[in-house]
Copies of this chain bind each other. A is one copy, B any other.
């Protein structure tokens, strides 16, 4: 029996049917848990059905995974890299279809859906090279006839839990590196994007559930952009638009706070309001759409509640909370909301809370120091960006007295990271790092090994014992 809509038939190309098994256990698709629906956020209608893995499936899968882990870590890293290369090639062959499914099920626009799948492919290519570079060190020993090594060994099993907003790129960041590092990977996708979990899993991965010892957290961000008086205003406005409304404001790197220097405050604001009014909200698969639906009906309701809370604060306090553009849900079968700008005082406490949708708080600042203090004043520390053309501002911003975030940008949006750098944030954001740089060390354990190959027993620090 086929899909309810002809436009879903492309899913057959990537191994998804109207009814699917949601667990991949010991080399076979298997699932004996409850059945859930995958729903299209543009119309809230069912796309397909998925039978979830049960606890028993999970236990069975973990057992198989344990056995596999022992073998996988014995395979030389460059050989593991070759397998990850083949995974990348398999995904490359289905890039368009997979990107389309991300769009369809998550609600982000097609270029973003495809870009997300491209990110796993990039990670695969990157991990192949890395598989010959997971290098330990040989450190000079203070003792004669001794060698000191720093050796990196795999952890064993790495569990990855991904959220709905990046249903597959985050898997790619973690799985590609975890695999070349010698680990088996257990993936649990978001409950609201089961199909992309299956479609990626059809070529790639064992999918069961979660359990791991070392913990790498990537939690929420409440990210700010600062625009200084010397900034390129056009560049800033385009960046803010992408940062604030891209993915309907549902990225962990979405810009939620905008600090404008008082001298260019009105100019930037006018330009932004003009652009916001022209943003096309609608079907994410349609050409020209910039903002698709928020992911679920519940997300739409949260947006509505958030806006009414802003409005009520505005009337009570003299802290602003004035909606300049947007501020409403769009009546339809789907979960569409208006991209929104709110003018508010930096003292308003609501600014420190995260509203997971396309809502941007705009505030006025007088100095760089004030702007940096504001940027750092929230509990999270993921991403941040400044627009300026002055080297002294750039280097202060990235230095000890600058942004306290893990991602510190200049003249680009808060979102849209490259895989070559380490992705992650400080403070309440969790401290973990994924993707490039030395993030692979998070998927391995380190041993400091000292080997005495002589016949004497000299002690460190010159101690004489016995």
Whether B125 lies near A81 (C-beta < 8 A) is yes
Min CB gap A203→B, angstroms:
18
Among A142-150, A264-272, A360-368, the one that faces the other chain is A142-150
Nearest B residue to A288 via CB reads B466
Whether A451 lies near B411 (C-beta < 8 A) is yes
Whether B144 lies near A452 (C-beta < 8 A) is no
List B contacts of A75 (CB < 8 A). 144
* Known pairs A150-B437, A399-B153, A412-B146; A118 contacts B452 (CB<8 A): no
Asked if A126 lies at the interface with its beta carbon under 8 angstroms from chain B, I say: yes
Whether A410 lies near B451 (C-beta < 8 A) is yes
Whether A406 lies near B144 (C-beta < 8 A) is no
Copies of this chain, tallied across the complex:
4
Whether B132 lies near A436 (C-beta < 8 A) is yes
Among A35-43, A294-302, A457-465, the one that faces the other chain is A457-465
Whether B125 lies near A133 (C-beta < 8 A) is no
* Known pairs A76-B143, A127-B129, A139-B436; A417 contacts B448 (CB<8 A): yes
List B contacts of A455 (CB < 8 A). 232, 235
A430 to B361, CA, bound (A): 40
Asked if A433 lies at the interface with its beta carbon under 8 angstroms from chain B, I say: yes
* Known pairs A73-B400, A466-B290; A391 contacts B448 (CB<8 A): no
CB-CB contacts below 8 Å: A419-455 with B: 419-423, 426-427, 431, 433, 436-437, 445-455
A214 to B427, CA, bound (A): 8
List B contacts of A421 (CB < 8 A). 139, 148, 150, 448, 450
Min CB gap A52→B, angstroms:
30
List B contacts of A378 (CB < 8 A). none
Asked if A394 lies at the interface with its beta carbon under 8 angstroms from chain B, I say: yes
List B contacts of A433 (CB < 8 A). 446
Whether B153 lies near A400 (C-beta < 8 A) is yes
Contact with B along A388-425 (1 / 0, CB 8 A): 01111011001111111111111110001111111100
Whether A420 lies near B115 (C-beta < 8 A) is no
The interface on chain A, measured as residues whose beta carbon lies within 8 A of the other chain's beta carbons, has a size of 113
Contact for A457 among B246, B406, B412, B450, CB less than 8 A: B412
* Known pairs A238-B457, A447-B407; A133 contacts B420 (CB<8 A): yes
Contact for A122 among B407, B453, B461, CB less than 8 A: B461
List B contacts of A136 (CB < 8 A). 137-138
A125 to B133, CA, bound (A): 12
- Report the 10 A-B pairs with minimum CB-CB distance, sorted nearest first: A129-B129, A136-B138, A132-B420, A77-B140, A411-B452, A78-B142, A421-B448, A115-B461, A115-B463, A410-B451
20 residue pairs A–B, Cβ–Cβ below 8 Å:
A76-B140, A76-B143, A111-B464, A118-B462, A129-B131, A132-B419, A133-B139, A133-B436, A134-B140, A135-B139, A150-B421, A151-B398, A290-B465, A290-B466, A391-B453, A403-B447, A406-B447, A407-B448, A408-B447, A416-B461
Q: Which residues from chain A sit less than 8 Å from chain B, CB to CB?
A: 70, 73-79, 81-82, 85, 111-112, 115-116, 118-119, 122, 125-151, 153-154, 182, 213-214, 232, 235, 238-239, 241-242, 246, 290, 389-392, 394-395, 398-412, 416-423, 426-427, 431, 433, 436-437, 445-455, 457, 459-466
